[in-house]
């Protein structure tokens, strides 16, 4: 099985949505990613928390099989993020970002971690993302994510990082801002010219786009009547996507990449059905695969020859 090494934030999030609120809930980009990707492949998490990080959160991660030897505890407070969602679940309004222990964090990878075949640089300071990448032996696949906070504060460091990654995930608004383009297709065009051979642009409840080579592929979301908390949708999408590819050990085949997009949608859809990480803590592979097949079924449009065949069966 191909291990995924993830570096990113492990956080305490305070979130308000039209469906309710939560204070200091377990969150962070690496947390959401790991809890989703572990259904597919072994995960090693690299990050830092403060002395105030509740013991039960670390226990939850280790009990779910996530390798936490790279999750350090430093003097000071855990990274905190607070945000609010209005009716538009696609865009969080960030109310506060307190980097706390992340200000001093300089990740030093263990030998075993450097050999991981898949690396996910989850949303975190792009300079830290580059420091981790520089320590890797020769990963088969490197993917990264980011958010507005870093696009605004460190655009050059981010561009430099992108020249070295294979897969880039962004939401529509972030991609347009980063590339200075008015729509996601143009933004993906520009971003892929900087390096990534695969660019994934998420459009929340409107689905996602994937650019591979010169071709764009379109994907609908799994339809949900209610979204309770969109936090972590992007990271759980990346978790399903990379987890699936790591489980196959195939990273450059369009068919596998399309299935990875569907698993990404499925994991994100489970995540947004409840606050914090509650819903992705206790899934199982059967439930995930059931929703995956349900999504494939809803997505597929029969070609004319298949349609004629099925009409004949109905008529017979």
Q: Give contact residues for ligand AMP (rule: CB under 6 A).
A: 9, 11, 13, 27-29, 32, 81, 97, 123-124, 147, 149, 231-235
Looking at the Cβ atoms of 117 and 235, the one nearer to ligand AMP is 235
What are the C-alpha distances in Å from 158 to residues 153, 164, 172, 213, 233?
Answer: 10, 10, 17, 21, 21
- 8 Å CB contact between 290 and 270: no
Quick one: which of 294, 229, 231 has its CA closest to 266? Answer: 294
Looking at the Cβ atoms of 49 and 262, the one nearer to ligand AMP is 49
Q: What is the nearest approach in angstroms of ligand AMP to the Cβ of residue 235? A: 4
Q: What is the nearest approach in angstroms of ligand AMP to the Cβ of residue 103? A: 12
Q: What is the nearest approach in angstroms of ligand AMP to the Cβ of residue 70? A: 16
Looking at the Cβ atoms of 88 and 306, the one nearer to ligand AMP is 88
E strands, 31-154, are: 43-50, 67-74, 79-84, 93-98, 118-121, 141-145
Start-end of H helices in the chain: 29-37, 55-63, 111-114, 126-135, 148-153, 155-162, 172-179, 184-194, 233-248, 254-271, 278-281, 285-299, 304-315
Of all helices (H) and strands (E), which one includes residue 11?
A: strand 11-17
Q: What is the nearest approach in angstroms of ligand AMP to the Cβ of residue 34? A: 12
Q: What is the nearest approach in angstroms of ligand AMP to the Cβ of residue 92? A: 6
What tokens does 185 get? Answer: 């297709």
Ramachandran region, residue 73 (left: φ > 0; alpha: ψ -120 to 50; beta: rest): beta
Q: What is the nearest approach in angstroms of ligand AMP to the Cβ of residue 212? A: 22
Looking at the Cβ atoms of 207 and 249, the one nearer to ligand AMP is 207
Q: Across-strand partners of 17?
A: 20
Looking at the Cβ atoms of 98 and 258, the one nearer to ligand AMP is 98
Looking at the Cβ atoms of 5 and 117, the one nearer to ligand AMP is 5
């Amino acid at each position: 099985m191909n291990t995924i090494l993830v570096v990113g934030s492990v956080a305490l999030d305070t979130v308000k949505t039209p469906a309710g609120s939560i204070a200091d809930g377990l969150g962070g980009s690496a947390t959401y990613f790991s809890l989703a990707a572990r259904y597919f492949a072994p995960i090693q998490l690299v990050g830092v928390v403060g002395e105030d990080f509740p013991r039960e959160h670390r226990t939850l991660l280790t009990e779910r099989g996530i390798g936490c030897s790279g999750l350090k505890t430093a003097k000071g407070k855990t990274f905190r993020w607070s945000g609010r969602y209005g009716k538009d679940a696609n865009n969080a309004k960030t109310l506060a970002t307190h980097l706390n222990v992340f200000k001093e964090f300089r990740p030093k990878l263990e030998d075993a971690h450097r050999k991981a075949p898949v690396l996910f640089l989850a949303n975190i300071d792009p300079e830290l993302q580059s420091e981790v990448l520089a320590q890797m032996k020769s990963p088969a696949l490197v993917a990264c994510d980011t958010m507005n906070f870093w696009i605004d504060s460190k655009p050059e460091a981010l561009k430099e990082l992108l020249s070295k990654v294979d897969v880039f995930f962004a939401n529509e608004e972030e991609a347009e801002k980063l590339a200075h383009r008015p729509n996601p297709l143009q933004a993906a065009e520009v971003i892929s010219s900087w390096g990534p051979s695969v660019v994934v642009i998420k459009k929340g409840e409107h689905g996602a786009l994937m650019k591979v080579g010169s071709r764009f592929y379109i994907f609908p979301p799994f339809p949900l009547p209610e979204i309770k908390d969109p936090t972590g949708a992007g990271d759980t999408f990346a978790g399903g996507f990379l987890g699936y590819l790591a489980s196959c050990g195939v990273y450059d085949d369009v068919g596998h990449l399309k299935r990875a997009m569907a698993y990404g949608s499925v994991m994100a859809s489970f995540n947004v059905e409840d606050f914090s990480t509650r819903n992705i803590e206790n899934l199982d592979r059967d439930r995930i695969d059931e929703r995956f097949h349900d999504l494939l079924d809803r997505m597929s449009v029969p070609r004319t020859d298949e349609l004629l065949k099925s009409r004949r069966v109905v008529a017979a």
